[in-house]
Structure 1
Amino acid sequence: MASYELSAFDRRFQAISVVSAIEQVSPFTLNVGFWIRDPNQWIEWPALIAAHPRQDFLWKNTCFEIFIGVKHEDFYREINLSPSQAWQVYQFEEYRYPEEMPPLAAYDIELNQLKRTHYGLNVSLDLTEFMLKYKLKWSDLFIGLTAVLKTAQGEQFYAMQHSSPSADFHNKRDWLHLF
């Protein structure tokens, strides 16, 4: 298991800390946890929902994201995970393309479990169809972990690193986890 402290794009904003951990389990399962430290309770958490529906535009509220890139390929997946327990997966052929809003949903990654916890969020994803369709091994993948936090002080963007002049979670240079 590897862990990462995500950094806020606005480096002056130090009131909230986000740590993530990622682990490959079984041949095609990916587990990710996000731990939040918010001593002032500034984060605006969406209300819990009963099921785990796929919903678009989750990033307009507090949302955690996983980007899955494939070495030497342009295509990638963006997985949005809401603390409400809603989720969605998007497919891109290359950097932010196609440009439709909402992006094109992908159905080759499935949800095993998504749970809001007292400290953040845990997710288990089934990558079987995605990995078999493209004949991928874990060593072909690289992962970006990010968070959009709606707070009393405005929107805050967290990522493994920020190498663009504006917060840009689609920048593959910032997807640091390798298997």
Structure 2
Amino acid sequence: METLSLSPHADHAPDRVSAVSASVIGLDRNWLRVRWRVADSAGVVVPPFAGKARADGLWQRTCFELFLRSPGSAAYVELNLSPSEEWAAYDFSGYRAGMAERAMPHSPDGTIRRGGNVLIFDASVPMAGLPPLPWDVGISAVIEEQGGTRSLWALRYGPGQADFHAPACFAARLAAPDGS
């Protein structure tokens, strides 16, 4: 998958962050690896280290998110990945319906790096905890900046309020890699 540019929602614009992009940097039978890149990130608030643990409400601070569904299906998976190393995984039977914790064989990994005025967040998610490929994908981010600004970034939005669960947000397609 190529590098995808995320757009801020008009109602949740950034203060200083100028761009957020995401790309799948690895995909095999064991791992899905995704990288988010945040430009002009000097003022981004990174949640403090909390250790690998399942946690709710991660979207209230800087958090990186994936939404995965099988093409033609209403059911989907939501993954919330925090730079604190906390994470969450949920199943939905339809649009914001039937939410349940998704079992994962072990915790996803997350690594954050800062250099210059760029923040990079890399996440590795065990494929054994994800539905079979191919997927319609929604990639998003919540970016908290000093001063309390919280911007919302996604590939695409539906009409109205920012809602990463909206069907319009599943704007990319990811197929199984050749030879797998």
TM-score band by shorter chain is: 0.7 to 0.9
Equivalent residues of 1:69, 1:172 under 8 A apart: no
Q: Report % sequence identity.
A: 23
Alignment partner of 1:106 is 2:102? yes
Q: Please, which moves more after superposition, 69-78 or 120-129?
A: 120-129
Equivalent residues of 1:55, 1:88 under 8 A apart: yes
Cα deviation code 1:75-132 (max 9, x no counterpart): 101000111111110111100013xxxx52111464452112222210111122543x
Unaligned runs of 5+ in 1: none
Q: 1:176 to 1:23 in 2, by over 3 A?
A: farther
Question: Quick one: distance in 2 between partners of 1:112 and 1:95?
Answer: 24
The residue type paired with residue 39 of structure 2 is: R
Match of 1:74 in 2: 74
Question: Quick one: distance in 2 between partners of 1:125 and 1:89?
Answer: 10
Secondary structure of the equivalent of 1:46? coil
Cα deviation code 1:28-64 (max 9, x no counterpart): 521100111125x332211123x31111110111111
Match of 2:48 in 1: 47
Give the alignment's TM-score, normalised by structure 2: 0.83
Match of 1:145 in 2: 139
Match of 1:36 in 2: 38
Question: Quick one: distance in 2 between partners of 1:109 and 1:176?
Answer: 27
Equivalent residues of 2:53, 2:107 under 8 A apart: no
CA-based RMSD: 2.1
Match of 1:61 in 2: 61
Equivalent residues of 2:89, 2:102 under 8 A apart: yes
Alignment of 1:100-139 (within 5 A): 103-108=99-104, 110-118=106-114, 119-131=119-131, 136=132, 138-139=133-134
Alignment of 1:90-101 (within 5 A): 90-98=90-98
Match of 2:177 in 1: none
Task: Give 1:20's match in structure 2, choosing from 9, 17, 22.
Answer: 22
Alignment partner of 1:158 is 2:159? no
Question: Quick one: distance in 1 between partners of 2:105 and 2:143?
Answer: 24
Cα deviation code 1:138-178 (max 9, x no counterpart): 23x11111011122252210001123211010012222221
Secondary structure of the equivalent of 1:10? coil
Q: 1:42 to 1:146 in 2, by over 3 A?
A: same
Give the alignment's TM-score, normalised by structure 1: 0.83
State the number of aligned residues.
167
Secondary structure of the equivalent of 1:167? coil
Question: Quick one: distance in 1 between partners of 2:84 and 2:108?
Answer: 16
Unaligned runs of 5+ in 2: 175-180
The residue type paired with residue 91 of structure 1 is: D
Alignment partner of 1:174 is 2:176? no
